[in-house]
Amino acid sequence: MMKHINDKHPNFYSKDGRFNLVRCYYCDPKNGVENYVMNVTLGCCTWCGWDVALETDKDYAEEVNN
């Protein structure tokens, strides 16, 4: 699993490998912003739109192209 800005506590990966975004550190790098509960399991931020799927795809594309 790749590291990204939101790979911090209290966010976590479930047993099936899905990223659960409880607090978004992209919105506020110091304290994080609490995410809307319905978007936690989707891995996307309600407030800024950060999405783990897009972040992972971007990181993968950079690895492949380098």
Q: Give, for all 66 residues of the chain, the pLDDT tens digit.
A: 558 899 999 999 999 989 999 999 999 999 999 999 999 999 999 999 999 988 865 654 454 444
Tell me what pLDDT residue 3 has: 82
In a domain, 56, yes or no: yes
What range defines the domain where residue 41 resides? 12-65
User: Is residue 1 included in any domain, yes or no?
Assistant: no
In a domain, 20, yes or no: yes
In a domain? residue 55: yes
- Give me the pLDDT at residue 63, please: 46
**Residue 57 in 3-state DSSP?**
helix
Number of domains in the chain: 1
pTM of the model: 0.81
Phi, then psi, of 11 in degrees rounded to 5: -70, 150
* Element holding 19 (H helix, E strand): strand 19-20
HSE-CB of 8 using CA atoms within 13 angstroms: 14
HSE-up of 46 (CA within 13 Å, CB side)? 11
What 8-state DSSP symbol labels residue 23?
E
DSSP 24: E
